[in-house]
Amino acid sequence: MAQAKVHILTTGGTIASRSDAPMVDGPQLVQAVPRLLDYAEISVEEFSKIGSSKMKPENWLNLAQRIQEIIQEKPDLASIIITHGTDTMEETAFFLNLVAKTEIPIVIVGSMRSSNEISADGPANLLNAVRVSISEQARGKGVLVVLNENISAGRDLLKMNNRRVETFEANSLGYLGFADPDTIIFYRTPTKPHTIQSDFNLQNIAQFSKIDIVQDFAGFDPEILELLGQRDIDGLVISSFAGGRMSYGMLEGLEKLKNRNFPIVIASSVRGGRIIGKPYADQGWIISPDLPANKARILLMLALTNDHDKKEIQQIFDTY
Ligand code: ASP
């Protein structure tokens, strides 16, 4: 029987790293796991060779455009794998989950241990990513992330540990399924719109708007927002306390930004659960019910690729 065709795009990260040598090239990374060939016919392409803390929105855009080209070039492709650092994996996954116009599985994979460490997790993660990507159940579930035998939804995963191989959790929503040795098993399916169901289009993105994120803290100095108000930005995300609550200083600073009229999104820095209701509707501030600040920034960037008023932006946050 002909094997499924899988295209692997490598971007860098710990999965491509050794602590004693430079990052390996894409093809080398894949050749180090010969068992991949038991499952699929593999093609490899090095997209970049960077730590994911160095990723920028331009890289996401190029990656998304490259994915669309690959799908055109290889119509019989079963899936696409992206190897990526874990630091910003949740951001790349969320972005692609909203803009990639395809039903074929896109699976992002990385590792927490470099390849020269004992019990490096990269090879097993890559093998599992390929197994998940060619599973019939992975189709139509949006962008997925596979790490430590767990399958996460691109929208939901969050990096929760600096070191451990089980770093990804999904905002108390849990995993979609598991890449177990005997089988790939899914228990749930994402319900929020993604990929072909999403309204966002790469064609609309000529340039990303500039959105800043500000973290609240006890005793926040409103001068921080006064200084930020001098920047030429298109929107702002506040990473608030639980439930969207903010310090006196943050509230005072936001009051002074009123004349700027750009969208202000309140996200919670507490990972888990939602901001209940619309606590600042009378101020015109938008609530990100459960997306943390980094993902709220991405959604706002995408929302601003179209002409939307604040009410419509709130609807987008309630939908995605
Ligand atoms: N330095 C890494 C990165 O590129 C961390 C990792 O991949 O786990 O994000």
Cα distance between residue 243 and residue 248, in whole Å: 15
Backbone angles phi, psi at 11, to 5 degrees: -120, -15
**pLDDT per residue over 174-223, tens digit each?**
999 999 999 999 999 999 999 999 999 888 788 899 999 999 999 999 99
**pLDDT per residue over 240-285, tens digit each?**
999 999 999 999 999 999 999 999 999 999 988 999 999 999 999 9
Q: Are residues 37 and 130 in the same domain?
A: yes
Q: Is the CB of 52 under 6 A from ligand 1?
A: yes
Q: Residue 103: which pLDDT band, with cuts at 50, 70 and 90? A: very high
Q: Are residues 163 and 27 in the same domain?
A: yes
Q: Is the dihedral of CA 225, 226, 227, 229 positive or negative?
A: positive
pLDDT at 102 (0 to 100):
96
Q: Are residues 183 and 133 in the same domain?
A: yes
pLDDT at 136 (0 to 100):
97
Return the structure tokens found at 316: 């987008």
Ligand 1 pocket test: which of 11, 14, 54, 126 has the largest number of ligand atoms within 8 Å of its C-beta?
Answer: 14
| Mean pLDDT for the stretch of residues 79-98 | 98
Q: Which atom of ligand 1 is nearest to the CA of 87?
A: 9
pTM: 0.97
Q: Are residues 247 and 184 in the same domain?
A: no
**pLDDT per residue over 137-170, tens digit each?**
999 999 999 999 999 999 999 998 899 998 887 7
Which of 163, 197, 231 represents a domain boundary (last residue)? 197
| Residues near 207 by beta carbon (within 8 Å), at least 6 away in sequence | none
Whether residue 68 lies inside any domain: the answer is yes
β-bridge pairing 286-287 and 40-46: unpaired
Q: Are residues 89 and 155 in the same domain?
A: yes
> For the domain that residue 246 is a member of, what is the CATH number?
3.40.50.40
Q: Which domain holds residue 152?
A: 4-197
Residues taking part in catalysis: 14
pLDDT at 168 (0 to 100):
87
Q: Are residues 220 and 266 in the same domain?
A: yes
Q: Are residues 82 and 22 in the same domain?
A: yes
Which of 133, 167, 197 represents a domain boundary (last residue)? 197
Q: Are residues 162 and 240 in the same domain?
A: no
Q: Is the CB of 125 under 6 A from ligand 1?
A: no
Whether residue 301 lies inside any domain: the answer is yes
Which of 176, 197, 218 represents a domain boundary (last residue)? 197
| Mean pLDDT for the stretch of residues 120-146 | 98
> For the domain that residue 121 is a member of, what is the CATH number?
3.40.50.1170
Contact status, residue 275 vs residue 304, Cβ threshold 8 Å: no
Whether residue 117 lies inside any domain: the answer is yes
- C-alpha distances (whole Å) from 8 to each of 48, 76, 120, 138, 169 are 12, 15, 20, 16, 24
Q: Are residues 218 and 122 in the same domain?
A: no
- C-alpha distances (whole Å) from 178 to each of 42, 56, 120, 281 are 22, 30, 19, 40
Q: Residue 72: which pLDDT band, with cuts at 50, 70 and 90? A: very high
Which carries the bigger pLDDT value, residue 238 or residue 2? 238
| Residues near 314 by beta carbon (within 8 Å), at least 6 away in sequence | 278, 286, 287
Whether residue 59 lies inside any domain: the answer is yes
Mean of the per-residue pLDDT values of the chain: 96
Ligand 1 geometric centre to CA of 145 (Å): 14
Whether residue 119 lies inside any domain: the answer is yes
Whether residue 204 lies inside any domain: the answer is no
Half-sphere exposure (Cβ direction) of 255: Cα atoms closer than 13 Å? 8
Q: What is the number of structural domains in the chain?
A: 2
Look at residue 85 and tell me whether its pLDDT is greater than 80.
yes
Cα distance between residue 87 and residue 55, in whole Å: 9
Whether residue 202 lies inside any domain: the answer is no
Q: Is the CB of 279 under 6 A from ligand 1?
A: no
Ligand 1 geometric centre to CA of 148 (Å): 15
Q: Are residues 152 and 271 in the same domain?
A: no
Q: Are residues 18 and 165 in the same domain?
A: yes
| Mean pLDDT for the stretch of residues 278-301 | 97
Ligand 1 pocket test: which of 19, 23, 53 has the largest number of ligand atoms within 8 Å of its C-beta?
Answer: 53
Judged by DSSP in three states, 237 sits in strand
Cα distance between residue 95 and residue 61, in whole Å: 9
